[in-house]
């Protein structure tokens, strides 16, 4: 189907179903139960799962296939967001031109940065991208927000003000980002079944459709001759050069494609919430997408999406567990025991979520170099036992082998 083999079709259908049914899947606990704390099926977080999934899929096209480790990808997400908000300010709140422009601007920006950075490889490439991203962040945060030439609105973040032109805006259209009148932040269905309640959000489904589309695109890229070429860059660029092929056009194309994915993610972020802050471009944000990709499994198709979901879940759900919540959970225990449990868990929850994330991340890198996908495969292999003796499961062939990465 769609030019995919049956295995890939299955994967695409599974992903599509997961994404479409996410509002149900992510809200497994009744609203009034103590476990509702762990529900993630509210619009903002679902949007983030999907948007950062797109970001990570794009990053994976560069890193997973070519092995070039970019430490500045957040810059493309940032310019994408800025472009989208500028579209809202000048044209109208319609998300189509905004998202289109954000992809275009990110593409141009990544051609520029990619052309220069790709002249080097290994850690030199990483540092070059990092340098560009840090420069963009520093300029966006301060200099480019000066009153005379306010491109980014600095610390506060770029947003739409009532005085902005918005030439295509007219009466009857919502005063928030919308798709031909359908407001992104509104929910079109809020069913309640017994104790469970679910939210179906317009914006989420726009992001979801785009995620499925770009996921399909990434499968096609992975399976295409172009994708083969990129993997050749990763495994041995020198040999490739000797055969008379110039690797740079291929890597540049991969760089720009992944930059466009990042721009799309940035545009969607702005479309869901019309404010673009400079922190989106900081190197820690670039580091985050690296974490997502590795955590999920670099070079696999589904890994980056899983990684993105995992980190965003931590950031938004885990960080909100405070001592009060802990006391409620353990209130069935005797007082001393309860206090002890809270005391033990205290450093890891709420404000300590960074610590837990850091530890988990280390464990994954040490014991599961293939990320969560490898973990899943190992578990699956355990269940399958000796029934099938296949080297790896679904994605085995793209599994990052301990072969030299480009950063070597």
162 belongs to the binding site for another protein (CB under 8 A) = yes
Q: How far is the CB of 185 from another protein (least distance, A)?
A: 7
Residue from 83, 207, 302, 357 in contact with another protein (CB under 8 A): 357
3-state secondary structure (DSSP) of residue 182: strand
Cα–Cα nearest to 117, from 102, 135, 100, 140: 135
| Segment 234 to 293, residues that bind another protein, using CB under 8 A | 236-238, 273, 275, 277, 279-280, 283-284, 287, 290-291
| Segment 196 to 235, residues that bind another protein, using CB under 8 A | 199-200, 202
Residue from 173, 209, 381, 393 in contact with another protein (CB under 8 A): 173
Q: Where does this chain touch another protein (CB under 8 A) — which range of 12-20, 113-121, 250-258, 330-338?
A: 113-121
Residue from 358, 379, 380, 397 in contact with another protein (CB under 8 A): 358
Q: Do 406 and 67 touch, CB atoms closer than 8 A?
A: yes
Nearer residue to another protein within complex by CB, 215 or 318: 318
Q: Where does this chain touch another protein (CB under 8 A) — which range of 95-103, 171-179, 330-338, 387-395?
A: 171-179
Q: Where does this chain touch another protein (CB under 8 A) — which range of 8-16, 114-122, 299-307, 327-335?
A: 114-122
d(CA 92, CA 105): 18
d(CA 206, CA 64): 26
48 belongs to the binding site for another protein (CB under 8 A) = yes
For the packed helices 225-242 and 202-223, what is the interaxial angle rounded to 10 degrees? 40
Q: Where does this chain touch another protein (CB under 8 A) — which range of 4-12, 135-143, 212-220, 375-383?
A: 135-143
36: how many CB neighbours lie within 10 A of its CB? 15
Size of the site for another protein (CB under 8 A): 106
d(CA 70, CA 254): 12
188 belongs to the binding site for another protein (CB under 8 A) = yes
226: how many CB neighbours lie within 10 A of its CB? 16
329 belongs to the binding site for another protein (CB under 8 A) = no
What is the number of alpha carbons within 13 Å of residue 257 lying toward its C-beta? 24
d(CA 256, CA 263): 10
Q: Do 355 and 346 touch, CB atoms closer than 8 A?
A: no
Nearer residue to another protein within complex by CB, 92 or 377: 92
User: How many residues does this entry show for the chain?
Assistant: 408
Q: How far is the CB of 68 from another protein (least distance, A)?
A: 10
396 belongs to the binding site for another protein (CB under 8 A) = no
Q: Where does this chain touch another protein (CB under 8 A) — which range of 99-107, 185-193, 328-336, 377-385?
A: 185-193
Nearer residue to another protein within complex by CB, 194 or 385: 194
104 belongs to the binding site for another protein (CB under 8 A) = no
398 belongs to the binding site for another protein (CB under 8 A) = no
3-state secondary structure (DSSP) of residue 388: coil
Nearer residue to another protein within complex by CB, 238 or 246: 238
Alpha carbon of residue 388 to chain centroid: 34
Q: Tokens for 310?
A: 């995992």
Cα–Cα nearest to 160, from 89, 82, 101, 84: 89
């Amino acid at each position: 189907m769609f030019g995919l083999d049956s295995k890939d079709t299955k994967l695409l259908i599974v992903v599509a179903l997961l994404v479409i049914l996410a509002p149900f899947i992510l809200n497994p606990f009744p609203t009034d139960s103590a476990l509702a704390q762990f529900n993630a099926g509210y619009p903002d977080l679902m949007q983030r799962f999907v948007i950062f999934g797109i970001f990570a899929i794009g990053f994976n096209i560069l890193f997973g296939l070519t092995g070039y480790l970019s430490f500045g990808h957040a810059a493309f997400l940032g310019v994408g967001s800025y472009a989208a908000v500028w579209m809202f300010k000048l044209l109208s709140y319609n998300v189509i031109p905004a998202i289109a422009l954000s992809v275009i601007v990110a593409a141009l920006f990544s051609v520029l940065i990619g052309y220069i950075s790709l002249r080097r490889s290994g850690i030199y490439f990483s540092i070059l991208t990092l340098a560009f991203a840090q420069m963009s962040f520093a300029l966006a945060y301060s200099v480019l927000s000066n009153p005379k030439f306010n491109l980014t609105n600095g610390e506060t973040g770029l947003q739409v003000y009532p005085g902005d032109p918005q030439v295509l805006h007219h009466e009857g259209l919502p005063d928030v980002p919308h798709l031909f009148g359908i407001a992104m932040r509104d929910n079109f269905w809020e069913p309640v079944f017994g104790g469970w309640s679910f939210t179906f959000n317009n914006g989420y489904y726009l992001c979801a459709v785009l995620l499925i589309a770009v996921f399909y695109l990434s499968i096609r890229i992975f399976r295409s001759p172009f994708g083969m070429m990129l993997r050749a860059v990763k495994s041995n660029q020198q040999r490739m050069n000797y055969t008379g092929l110039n690797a740079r056009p291929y890597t540049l194309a991969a760089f720009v494609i992944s930059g466009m994915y990042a721009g799309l993610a940035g545009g969607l972020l702005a479309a869901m919430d019309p404010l673009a802050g400079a922190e989106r471009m900081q190197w820690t944000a670039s580091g985050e997408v690296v974490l997502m990709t590795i955590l999920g499994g670099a070079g696999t198709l589904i890994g980056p999406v899983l990684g993105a979901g995992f980190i965003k879940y931590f950031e938004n759900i885990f960080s909100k567990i405070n001592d009060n919540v802990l006391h409620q959970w353990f209130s069935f225990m005797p007082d001393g025991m309860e206090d002890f449990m809270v005391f033990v868990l205290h450093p890891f929850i709420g404000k300590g979520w960074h610590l837990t994330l850091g530890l988990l991340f280390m464990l994954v890198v040490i014991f599961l170099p293939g990320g969560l996908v490898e973990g899943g495969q190992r578990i699956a292999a355990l269940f399958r036992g000796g029934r099938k003796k296949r080297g790896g499961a679904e994605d085995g062939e793209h599994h990052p082998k301990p072969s030299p990465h480009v950063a070597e």
